[in-house]
Amino acid sequence: MKKLYSNKLVILSLVLPGVLLFIFAILAPICLSVYYGFTDYSGMGSFSFIGFENYKKLMTDEAFWMSLRNSLLLAIGFICIQHPLALIVAAVLDKLGGRAESFFRCVYFIPNVISVAVIAYLWKFIYNPDFGLLNNIIKAFGGKGGTNWFSSDKAIWAVLVVLIWHGFGWGMLIYYTGIKNIDPVLYEAASIDGADQKTTFLKITLPLMKPVIQVNVTMAVISALKQMETVYLLTNGGPGNSTQFAANYLYQQAFKAFKYGYGNAIGVIFIIICLVTTVVLNKIFAEREGRRARRIREGL
Amino acid sequence: MKKKIISALLVAAMAVSMFAGCGSKNESEKSSDGTVTLKVFSNLPDRKNGQGLVEQMIIDEYMEENSNVKIEVEALDEEAYKTKFKAYSMEGMPDVVSIWGQPSFLDEVVEAGVLAELDKADYTDYKFIEGSLNGFTYDDKLYGLPRNTDVACIYYNEKLFQDNGWEIPTTYDELLALADKINAAGITPMAMDGGDGWPMAVYLSDVLFKLTGEDYSDVVSNAISTGDFSDENLKKATELLKGAADAKLFQNGYDSQDYGTAMNLFTNGQAAMFYMGSWESSMALNEDIPEEIRSNIRVFTMPVVDGGKAAATDIAAWNGGGYAVSANSEVKDEAIKFLNYMYQPDKLSKYGWENGVGMSAQDQSEYMTGDETKLQMQIVDAVNNATSVSGTPVNDCGPSAFKTSIESEIQSVSNGSKSVDDFLSAIGASCK
């Protein structure tokens, strides 16, 4: 068997499917995107090369910058609101134990189980200015109600709330699994030393969760950049372009405005941003790791 | 040796599984025994109601009369349809397709050489309403046939109006004054599907037509061909739209609410008026709408604008959707034969009328049954008494990049987050 695995043909046959899949499903489309990004292709008929024209136009395209700003806001929302909350909830869940633990674990995960289309319509109704739940609650507490949550200045915040709420379950579940993997002996030792809940969380849970946090944050940032379906169903980028996100804008330009070349140019910029973000995040975390390793080596 | 055989087998197995999915499916549509398969690609996924039912009825009849023809239908709703249409245009169109006789759709499609040219002389006896073929003509060649006549309508709840003593407005100022009165009664004046952008673009076109009258198409085509939208009428029309939004003519949050939500406001009696095309005249027959509301739905068209050139009987109407034949169809003759069959006046036009689908693009007067709803008759009268019609709404007059732009920017200008001048220059830029 060992000999079989050292046969180059066998290795090739085993690696080939993955490599081919990568080439045809990921690499080739990216190359095609780059190619079409330099054309004025409408998606049909003939086209001609226009060099960097699409990219020049993109630089002055308000809607595109708006969509990037919104993606950035979402990423910040994920990192600063969703993930700290998710981590704390996960830690609290871990302490609950018994029936309550599995009950709340389920409850927090429910939004992720429901289809995006349902989520979008659910929130459309919650936000509705006339009969929406949110305005009715405000009225019940003596407020005025009748607020239009999707007005051009408020819409982005309304959308962010939905997205942060929707992605919460995933983040929490991954943190929860991470916390469950921490050796309970450490907690015991800490409690013998007289550490309280807060100290235990800050000095044991948090440091040991670093790799999990790293994975989770990277995934959150990428998913913020890729956000499309919820926004598409909730506002489709409107009113105006106030809730436009990059992936949705790409779709609109390529398939609705018949600007396939331009859409591909957006796609290329989009890929570059995603790659750069991933590399930068990895760098940041690697430096931290490196510093920590150095500190340990130096006996600090 | 044995291992070599195993490894060779593994490689072979991989290779086979790799290519298993790549079979050729390019079989000829005309088989040896003379049966012809026609592929119809339609934007009417509901085959049991309305227009989709009418289309299916004709298809079934055609297959019955021509036993050698088999018609396969693929139907998707509008947005999915347009996306797949594009995919088909690259790898081969079905034989008969739904199209839109408007520059925002047709220009790119015809330039790509996807559609077959039709012979104008074939249709002299088909009773097409004058001018209805214009949108489907490109460089003086006919590429498709129109299915409907669409009219921009202001539906209103007659009972609500009578109970509150509201009058049908005869001028635009009266319409805005009426909005105040209706708001004061705690009711939404007009339900507007502002989330989609195009109904507001139709509203803008409607007002623009009232301002410019017969100059409408010149003003629009001029602006689109030069990308310069600074014409004073365009500016005034935009200001009037914004004025309507400022006067709270539309519901709270209109700029983010979709078609269904807006329509529900009206059909639940929460809104007194509803701005939509004549295709919704079937509301009067819709059993899902409470009886006291559906039997009281009436319609009027956009009132005249002070200083505008158009009279009350100059209405915003156009011919949008229709059918065409694929240029590369292997059974083109049969496809054209089927297309012509559909458009025989006693088919699409007659069945459409009988099913309350709205007005076709052909003369329907001989198919009146006498059982038409009041709403249907009001729309027919509006068209028959029209002294002129506008033609294609502004958003569909330019390339699709312009359509996408105006339908998004119009939300910003109406809700005040963008100035009128910025709006006009932004949509102008998308034409270049």
Q: How large a percentage of chain A has pLDDT more than 90? A: 48
Q: Does an H or E element contain B56, and which?
A: helix B50-65
Distance CA(B197)–CA(A257), nearest Å, equals 14
Taking contacts as CB-CB distances below 8 angstroms, the residues of chain B near A150 are 253, 255-256
Residues of B in contact with A13 (CB under 8 A): 7, 10-11, 14
Statement: residue B18 has pLDDT above 50: no
The pLDDT-based confidence of B366 (bands split at 50, 70, 90) is confident
* Residues 6 or more apart in contact with residue B346 via CB below 8 angstroms: B367
**Which pLDDT score, from 0 to 100, does residue B326 have?**
94
Q: Kindly determine whether residue B417 and residue A152, on different chains, have CB atoms separated by under 8 Å.
A: yes
Mutate to test the interface with B, among A44, A156, A255 (most CBs of B within 10 A): A44
Pairing of strands B69-75, B96-100: unpaired
Residues B118/B336, Cβ–Cβ less than 8 Å: yes
Tens digits of per-residue pLDDT, A199-219?
888 888 888 888 898 889 888
Check CB contact under 8 Å for B399 and A253: no
Q: Given CB atoms, is B256 within the 8 Å cutoff of chain A?
A: yes
pLDDT digits (tens, 9 = 90+) for B100-141: 988 888 888 898 889 999 998 889 888 888 788 888 999 999
Q: Does the CB of A264 have a partner CB in chain B at under 8 Å?
A: no
Residue B71 pLDDT exceeds 90: yes
Q: In B, which residues are within 8 Å of A45 by CB distance?
A: 89, 108, 111-114
Q: How confident is the model at residue B5 (pLDDT cuts 50, 70, 90)?
A: low
Q: What chain A residue is nearest to B406 in terms of C-alpha separation?
A: A240
**Cβ atoms within 10 A of the Cβ of A199, count?**
12
Would you give the distance in Å from CA A277 to the centre of its chain? 12
Assess A7–B contact: CB distance below 8 Å, yes or no: yes
| Nearest one of B79, B72, B63, B70 to B94, comparing CA atoms | B72
What CA–CA distance (Å, rounded) separates B97 from B95? 7
A contacts of B100 (beta carbons < 8 Å):
none
The three-class DSSP label of residue A296 is: helix
B270–A257: do the CB atoms touch at under 8 Å?
A: no
Assess if residue A28 is contained within a domain.
Answer: no
Find the range with the poorest average confidence among A67-81, A144-158, B221-235.
A144-158
Does A32 reside within a domain? no
> Residue A110 belongs to what domain range?
47-297
pLDDT value, residue B229: 94
Minimal CA separation from A222 to chain B, in Å? 26
Helices (H), B141-231: 158-164, 172-184, 198-212, 216-226
Q: What pLDDT does residue A272 have?
A: 92
CA distance A175 to A83: 9
* Range of weakest confidence among A26-35, A89-98, A265-274, B223-232: A89-98
Q: Quick check: A24 pLDDT over 60?
A: yes
Q: Residue range A222-234: average pLDDT?
A: 90
**CB B3 to CB A17 under 8 A?**
no
Band of residue A299 on the pLDDT scale cut at 50, 70, 90 = low
Element (H, E) at B297: strand B297-300
- pLDDT for position B372: 81
Q: Which residue of A has its CA nearest to B92?
A: A44
Ranges B35-49, B51-65, B361-375: which has the least confidence: B361-375
Secondary-structure percent of chain B, ordered helix, strand, coil, rounded to 5 = 50, 15, 35
State how far the alpha carbon of B94 is from the alpha carbons of B21, B263, B312, B379, in Å: 22, 34, 43, 35
CB within 8 Å: A239 and B412 = yes
CA distance B275 to A68: 34
Q: Which chain B residue has the Cα nearest residue A13?
A: B11
- CB distance A45–B403 less than 8 Å? no
Within chain A, residue ranges assigned H as helices are: 2-6, 8-22, 28-37, 53-59, 62-77, 83-96, 98-113, 116-127, 133-140, 155-180, 184-192, 197-200, 206-208, 210-226, 229-234, 246-251, 260-297
Count how many domains chain A has: 1
Asked if B252 and A13 come within 8 Å (Cβ–Cβ), the reply is no
CB atoms A258 and B399 under 8 Å: yes
Domain membership flag for residue A31: no
One-letter amino acid at B430 equals S
Does the pLDDT of residue A159 top 80, yes or no?
yes
Please write the tens of the pLDDT for every residue from B388-432: 889 899 999 988 889 999 999 999 999 999 999 999 999 999 987
> Is A151 near chain B, with CB under 8 Å?
yes
**CATH level 2 (architecture), domain B36-147+319-367:** 3-Layer(aba) Sandwich (3.40)
> What Å distances lie between residue B276 and B176, B317, B319, CA to CA?
18, 12, 15
Asked if A259 has any chain B CB less than 8 Å from its own CB, the reply is yes
Q: Would residue A8 count as lying in a domain? A: no
> If you ran DSSP here, which 8-state letter would residue B144 be given?
-
Q: B212 with B233: CB under 8 angstroms?
A: yes
Pair of tokens at residue B330: 């292997």
Distance CA B363, CA B128 (A): 6
For residue A37, being part of any structural domain is answered with no
Which string of DSSP letters, residue by residue, matches B311-323? -TTEE-EE--EEE
> CB–CB of B404 and A252 under 8 A?
yes
Is the domain spanning B150-317+389-429 CATH 3.40.190.10? The answer is yes
Q: Does B197 touch chain A (CB under 8 A)?
A: yes
CB atoms under 10 Å from CB of B312, counted, come to 16
CATH 3.40.190.10 occupies which residues in chain B? 36-147+319-367, 150-317+389-429
Helix axes B420-429, B400-414, angle to 10 degrees: 170
Of residues A163, A148, A174, the one with CA closest to residue A87: A174
Tell me how far the alpha carbon of residue B148 is from its chain's centroid.
Answer: 9
Residue A19 in any domain: the answer is: no
Say yes or no: A290 contacts chain B, CB-CB below 8 A: no
- Give the one of A14, A148, A241 whose C-beta lies nearest to B253's C-beta: A148
Q: Is residue A12 part of a domain?
A: no
Q: In chain B, what's the furthest Cα-to-Cα distance? A: 99
- Evaluate if residue B24 carries a pLDDT over 60: no
> Is any Cβ of chain B less than 8 angstroms from the Cβ of A256?
yes
Contact A43 B10 (CB under 8 A): no
**Taking CB atoms and an 8 Å limit, are B412 and A253 in contact across chains?**
no
CB pairs under 8 A between A and B: 128
Q: What is the pLDDT of residues A5-16, one digit of tens each?
A: 788 888 899 999
What pLDDT is attached to residue B25? Answer: 42
Comparing CA positions, the residue from B198, B200, B178, B196 lying closest to residue B187 is B178
pLDDT reading at A40 higher than 80: yes
CB atoms closer than 10 angstroms to residue B18: 12
Q: Is residue A18 part of a domain?
A: no
CB contact (8 A) between residue B261 and residue A3: no
- Chain B contact for A69 (CB, 8 A cutoff): no
Contact A152, B412 (CB under 8 A): yes
Give residue-wise pLDDT tens across range B204-216.
Answer: 999 999 999 999 9
Q: What is the mean pLDDT of residues B162-167?
A: 94
The dihedral region occupied by B133, where left means phi > 0, alpha psi between -120 and 50, and beta the remainder, is alpha
Decide if A44 and B108 are in contact by the 8 Å CB cutoff.
yes
Tell me how close the Cα of B346 comes to any Cα of chain A, in angstroms.
35
Q: Which residues between 44 and 103 in chain B have a beta carbon less than 8 angstroms from any beta carbon of chain A?
A: 79, 82-83, 86, 89-90
**A236 Cα to chain B: minimum distance (Å):** 8
Shortest CA distance from B413: residue in chain A: A240
Name chain A contacts of B326, Cβ cutoff 8 Å: none
Under an 8 A CB cutoff, do A13 and B14 touch?
Answer: yes
> What's the pLDDT at B19?
46
- List of chain B residues whose C-beta atoms are within 8 Å of the C-beta of residue A12: 11
B271 φ/ψ angles, rounded to the nearest 5 degrees = -120, 145
Q: How confident is the model at residue B26 (pLDDT cuts 50, 70, 90)?
A: very low
Q: Sorting pLDDT into bands at 50, 70 and 90, what band is B83?
A: confident
Domain with A72 in it: what CATH number? 1.10.3720.10
Cβ atoms B168, B181 nearer than 8 A: no
Q: Which residues of chain B are within 8 Å of residue A259 when distances are taken between CB atoms? A: 401
pLDDT of B28 reads 41
3-state secondary structure of B156: strand
Average pLDDT over residues B81-95: 87
Rounded Cα gap, residues B422 and B90, in angstroms: 37
Segment B176-198 shows an average pLDDT of 94
Of residues A27 and A298, more confidence is placed in A27
What ipTM did this prediction achieve?
Answer: 0.82
